[in-house]
Structure formats: structure tokens, C-alpha cells
């Protein structure tokens, strides 16, 4: 896939398709284009869930993307080169990166870093609207122990491990209680 030209775009949400009829032509055209992008994002999210399931051994549904804000890298044909889903937590002043993925054909070319820059720009814009004591200060994310590449990538970018995420099957825990 050609990675020379792409754009990085923030969407407030991408779960609902927008109306394409009963509105003026300009808006209908804009919505139709956005709907194509949303459907392409849904396909990319499926590829992401499948890949993470293969890497971690967890079922694909574990990686069903959060609703809400998403930054996507799009080709001129609106193919999805990658995405990052985010949710803001004003109470602990952090932005949680829930899911991130770059198309296998476009990796190691800086697509992820460019999307992260767009995430940071979105946070800066939101911070301008918030009281200083409520502003977002940190990016946080979880990495599965078996995801060696993600560990390398995030360490290179400057993320430090600060916690160990634990998981247990309720059935197994119940036997021990």
C-alpha cells in the first residue's frame, strides 16, 4: 500500500452511519463519504481484533474497539492505513489509548507516530477548553505480555511500564475463594 500520501483525521465517533437522504445535497455527499470511511474503519477494526487475538491467544471479542473518538490514517481512496481509539478521563487527567493498529503493509514508516501526534493535538485543543487543574496530562495504554513488537514500539516512543494488568477466569477464581 502506498504510504507516501495519506491524511490523519479525528472522528468524534464512528459507530452510527449518517443520513444520506432527506438533507441538502452538500451534506448528503459529505455524509456518504464519511459513511464509506466508517465502514472501512469497521473492517480495519476486525483485522485488528483478529491480529491481537492471534498475538495474545485471547478471543477476538476481547479486542472489540471502544465507541468514541478515533484517529485514523486514510489514503486518498479512503483505505484505512491505521487507527487509534481514545477515551478521555478528566477525573484522572489521562487519555486512554484503547486500541491502536497500523495495516501490516504500512508498518515501520511512521504512521503510528503521526497518528499519535494527531491524538496529542486533539488533547491540546480540548485542554484549551478546560480549567488548568482538569487538563489531560498523560497518555496511557495496556500492552499484552506476548505483544513483543508493541512493547518495543512503545518503549522507543517513551512509554514506561507502570503496572501489571491481571486477568482471571471467574470460574477458576471461584474455586480458590
* Residues near ligand COA, by CB under 6 A: 51, 100-102, 107-113, 141, 143, 147, 149-150, 152-153, 156-157
Cα atoms found within 13 Å of the Cα of residue 116, Cβ hemisphere only: 18
Tell me the C-alpha distance between 33 and 31, whole Å.
5
Spatial CA neighbour of 75 closest among 52, 105, 97, 46: 105
The residue (of 91 and 165) whose beta carbon lies closer to ligand COA is 165
Q: What are phi and psi of 16, to 5 degrees?
A: -110, 135
The residue (of 3 and 123) whose beta carbon lies closer to ligand COA is 3
Measured distance between the N- and C-terminal CA atoms of the chain, rounded to whole angstroms: 52
Query: How near is the Cβ of 11 to ligand COA at its closest, in Å?
Result: 18
The residue (of 104 and 176) whose beta carbon lies closer to ligand COA is 104
Query: How near is the Cβ of 176 to ligand COA at its closest, in Å?
Result: 29
Query: How near is the Cβ of 55 to ligand COA at its closest, in Å?
Result: 6
Query: How near is the Cβ of 118 to ligand COA at its closest, in Å?
Result: 12
CB 136 within 8 A of CB 88: yes
In the numeric block, which cell numbers belong to residue 65?
474497539
Query: How near is the Cβ of 19 to ligand COA at its closest, in Å?
Result: 33
How many CB atoms are located within 10 Å of the residue 102 CB? 24
Amino acid at each position: 500500500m502506498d504510504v507516501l500520501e495519506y491524511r490523519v483525521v479525528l472522528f468524534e465517533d464512528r459507530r452510527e452511519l449518517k443520513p444520506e437522504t432527506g438533507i441538502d445535497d452538500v451534506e448528503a455527499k459529505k455524509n456518504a463519504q464519511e459513511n464509506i470511511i466508517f465502514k472501512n474503519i469497521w473492517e480495519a477494526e476486525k483485522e485488528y481484533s483478529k491480529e491481537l487475538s492471534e498475538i495474545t491467544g485471547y478471543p477476538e471479542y476481547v479486542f472489540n474497539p471502544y465507541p468514541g473518538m478515533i484517529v485514523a490514517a486514510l489514503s486518498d481512496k479512503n483505505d484505512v492505513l491505521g487507527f487509534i481509539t481514545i477515551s478521555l478521563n478528566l477525573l484522572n487527567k489521562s487519555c486512554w489509548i484503547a486500541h491502536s493498529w497500523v495495516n501490516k503493509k504500512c508498518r515501520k514508516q511512521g504512521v503510528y507516530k503521526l497518528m499519535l501526534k494527531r491524538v496529542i493535538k486533539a488533547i491540546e485543543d480540548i485542554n484549551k477548553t478546560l480549567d488548568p487543574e482538569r487538563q489531560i496530562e498523560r497518555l496511557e495504554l495496556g500492552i499484552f505480555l506476548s505483544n513483543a513488537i508493541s512493547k518495543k514500539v512503545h518503549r522507543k516512543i517513551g512509554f514506561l511500564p507502570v503496572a501489571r494488568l491481571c486477568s482471571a477466569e471467574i470460574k477458576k477464581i471461584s474455586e480458590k475463594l
